[in-house]
Amino acid sequence: MSTVTTAPARAVPPGALDVERIRADFPILQQRVRGKPLVYLDNAATSQKPRVVIDTVSRYYLEENANIHRGVHYLSERATRAYESARGRVQRFLNAADTREIIYTRGTTEGINLVAASYGRRLRAGDEIVISWMEHHSNIVPWQLLCEQTGAVLRVVPINDDGELGMDEYARLLGPRTKIVAMSHVSNALGTINPVREIVAMAHEAGAVALLDGAQAIPHLPVDVRELGCDFYAFSGHKVYGPTGIGILYGKAELLEAMPPYQGGGDMISSVSFEKTLYNTLPHKFEAGTPDIAGAVGLGAALEYVEGIGRERIAAYEAELLAYATEALSALPEVRLIGTAHDKASVLSFELEGVHPHDVGTILDREGIAIRTGNHCAQPAMERFGVPATARASLAMYNTRQEIDVLAAGLHKVIEVFR
Amino acid sequence: MSDLQELYQEVILDHNRRPRNFQVLEDANRQAEGYNPLCGDKITVYLHLQDDVVRDISFQGAGCAISKASASLMTDSVKGKTRAEVEALFRRFHGLVTGEDDPESASVELGKLTVFSGVSEFPVRVKCASLAWHTLQAALKGEGDKVSTE
């Protein structure tokens, strides 16, 4: 019997995520920036793309490109099939009951704007919309616009010093006037995981519908919209390893059926005359104009890739990495973490004593480390913690402990420069 | 770290730590606010302008080391200058931080401001270095409106 020699196995426990294998799937991570290996820690802004997503988008344009839902020719049929089968992938990913409940959008922002503009038409003066202090601007401004148009009132649930939602205050803000509750599943600025099942149940008890902003949850946590019970769930493709310019709004069919179209145009109609236009059925009623077909197909590939790895496995790996990173940063006396909720995902927002976040970002950049600095489109949350801005390192499943060590060493360098 | 040392020169770090003219100006007759949404920098420039000459100037606000040091050094450099001289100096300064002009060409006029030559290697930081100057311009024009770098 001959012996087969293989490379020594790396110490990856059975069932655990093999981060080196995952990293090999992401071509961009192999590069050096400014002479150093890239340490990409700006995943809450956007994630990098695995080769399978890049290849799928590329193959779509190389082999399948045509307009959808209207051609009788071969390519149109193929493009339509690719676009609709990606919708099926999204439906299964979210465990939605039906593909009619899956609306393609440009991203989370458009999904929320769609609900505000369309469902929001039924609001009247004095009705109330409840959001929280930790929301991204895209889950604040659409509701402010709606309030301006209808005379509805915006109610804001406060957060505590750890960045956790005040559930008692939330309960007190709910009432017969509450029509919409809109909350982030995971906060982009603080990393807080909100108790969304409870939030949704309480909204329903008050007779309101509940929208969840899933932009930061979808790459990190298993999401089952039927288990959550939410009425709407919005997310962006590019934060979950898919292309930019494509996103999803999930909505319960009976609500979407009753809602007026968001935009008018091609594909959202079944017949048009100057006297009377009939709208198309779901989901097409909400997809006016030629959509980002390649983006949708790429998103399907990204979700398939994530499922291939397993969302439970990703969540477990990232939780362990977050704990490691939290410890590494807390070990620096100059660091003050902003957002220390008990339930957190993949975000480390921090201040470095005596150094503005922007200077932190510039010095880390020279070390090949990409982080975000600024207010993270969450100015109210920043104000809540009395800071104009923070530095934010945000993790993805392809980040490693070694990269966290590089970050900590980079922060030492920042402290040296400013000593 | 040579690019970084070039950017964060000792003079800049010193003005960041101990900004000069960092207060409200009691007898100001002009003021303007500046804002950089990218990093959340906010600045107010107070000006006492008499016969078209900057008699006194101060600033307040919060920002990164580059924007704070730039504001501090700016207030030192423009005191006693006419409006036209301030405008000319800003053009020189802008040429310096964007890298459009050779740092040597205007070193006499720029004086201490040449410490910002390193900014040209960091294009995203040009806005930080010029925020105070844009705000000063607005104050000189008597525009009470906020200036924004966006």
Q: Contacts for B134-137 with beta carbons within 8 Å, 24 or more apart?
A: B134/B34, B135/B32, B135/B33, B135/B34, B135/B43, B135/B44, B135/B45, B135/B59, B136/B32, B136/B45, B136/B47, B136/B57, B136/B74, B136/B78, B136/B86, B136/B90, B137/B87, B137/B90
pLDDT: is A298 or A12 the higher one?
A: A298
In this prediction, residues A361-370 reach a mean pLDDT of: 96
- Separation of alpha carbons B38 and A373, rounded Å: 8
**Does B62 sit within 8 Å of A388, measured CB to CB?**
yes
Q: Find the mean pLDDT for residues A357-372.
A: 96
| From A129-133, A253-257, A363-367, A380-384, the region with the lowest mean pLDDT | A380-384
Give the one of B3, B39, B66 whose C-beta lies nearest to A373's C-beta.
Answer: B39
Mean pLDDT along residues A83-97: 98
Report pLDDT digits (tens) over B92-141: 999 999 999 887 777 888 999 999 999 999 998 999 999 999 999 999 99
pLDDT one-digit tens code per residue, A49-70: 999 999 999 999 999 999 998 8
Q: What is the pLDDT of residue B149?
A: 61
| CA dihedral (A104, A105, A108, A112) positive or negative | negative
pLDDT surpassing 80 at residue A11: no
Q: How far apart are CA A147 and CA A127, in angstroms?
A: 9
Nearest C-alpha of chain B: how many angstroms from A368? 12
C-alpha distances in Å from residue A237, one per residue of A176, A217, A346: 35, 12, 17
| Alpha-carbon span B106 to B92, nearest angstrom | 7
DSSP codes of every residue in A325-348: HHHHHHTSTTEEEE---SSB-SEE
* Contact predicate A208/A69, CB 8 Å: no
User: Taking the mean position of all CA atoms in its chain, how far away is CA A241?
Assistant: 10
Question: Quick one: pLDDT at residue A1?
Answer: 45
Calculate mean pLDDT across residues B49-75. Answer: 95
> Is pLDDT of A182 > 80?
yes
For chain B, the first-to-last Cα distance in angstroms comes to: 30
Tens-digit pLDDT profile for residues A318-364:
999 999 999 999 999 999 999 999 999 999 999 999 999 999 999 99
The order of strands in the sheet holding A335-338 is A335-338, A347-352, A390-394, A372-374
Given an 8 Å threshold on Cβ–Cβ distance, is A358 in contact with B128? yes
d(CA A349, CA A336): 9
Q: Do A388 and B66 touch (CB under 8 A)?
A: no
- DSSP state for residue B80 in the 8-state scheme: T
pLDDT number for residue A10:
61
Can you tell me whether residue B8 is helix, strand or coil?
coil
Confidence of residue B150 (pLDDT cuts 50, 70, 90): low
- Which ranges of A260-384 would DSSP assign to H, the alpha helix? 293-309, 311-330, 357-365, 379-384
Chains A, B: CB pairs < 8 Å: 50
Q: Do A389 and B39 make contact, defined as CB atoms within 8 angstroms?
A: yes
For residue A363, the chain B residue with the least C-alpha distance is: B4
Question: Model pTM greater than 0.90?
Answer: yes
Nearest CA in chain A to B40: A388
Average pLDDT of the segment spanning A77-90: 97
All residues at 6 or more sequence positions from B148 whose CB lies less than 8 Å from its CB, including other chains: B34, B35, B36, B37
Pairing, β A178-184 against β A128-132 = parallel
- Asked if A278 and A270 count as a contact pair (C-beta separation under 8 A), the reply is yes
DSSP state of A260: P
- From the CA of B80, how many Å to the nearest CA of chain A? 31
Identify whether the C-beta of residue A390 lies closer than 8 Å to the C-beta of residue A337: no
**Two tokens, residue B110:** 């720029």
Distances from the Cα of B150 to the Cα of A153, A266, A316, angstroms: 30, 35, 40
DSSP for A180-219 reads: EEEEESB-TTT-BBP-HHHHHHHHHHTT-EEEEE-TTTTT
Smallest Cα–Cα separation from A411: which of A339, A322, A321, A350?
A350
Lowest mean pLDDT among A238-247, A309-318, B3-12: B3-12
Least confident window among A135-144, A333-342, B33-42:
B33-42
Q: What is the pLDDT, as a whole number, of residue B147?
A: 66
Q: How far from A411 is each of A40, A351, A417, B141, B146, CA to CA, in Å? A: 15, 11, 10, 42, 34
Mutate to test the interface with B, among A353, A358, A419 (most CBs of B within 10 A): A358
Residue among A57, A180, A377, A411 flagged as catalytic? A377
Asked if A358's CB is within 8 angstroms of B39's CB, the reply is yes
Is the CB of A389 inside 8 Å of chain B's CB atoms?
yes
Nearest to A374 among B7, B39, B63 (CB): B39
Q: Share the mean pLDDT of chain A.
A: 95
A301 touches chain B (CB under 8 A): no
Is A230 designated active site? no
Task: State residue A9's pLDDT score.
Answer: 53
On the question of pLDDT at A382 being above 70, the answer is: yes
Which of A141-150, A207-216, B2-11 has the weakest average pLDDT? B2-11
* Cα dihedral A262→A264→A265→A268 (10° resolution): 60
Q: Which of A36, A356, A390 to mutate to test the interface with B (most CBs of B within 10 A)?
A: A356
Question: So what's the pLDDT on residue B1?
Answer: 47
Interchain contact A36–B (C-beta under 8 A):
no
Predicted local distance difference test score (pLDDT) of residue B5: 86
Percent of chain A having pLDDT more than 90? 89
pLDDT class for A12, splitting at 50, 70, 90? confident
* Structure tokens belonging to residue A254: 């009976």
B42 touches A at CB < 8 Å: yes
Stretch A365-380: mean pLDDT, rounded?
92
**CB contact (8 A) between residue A418 and residue B39:** no
pLDDT of residue B106: 75
Q: How far is the C-alpha of A394 from the C-alpha of A374, rounded, in Å?
A: 13
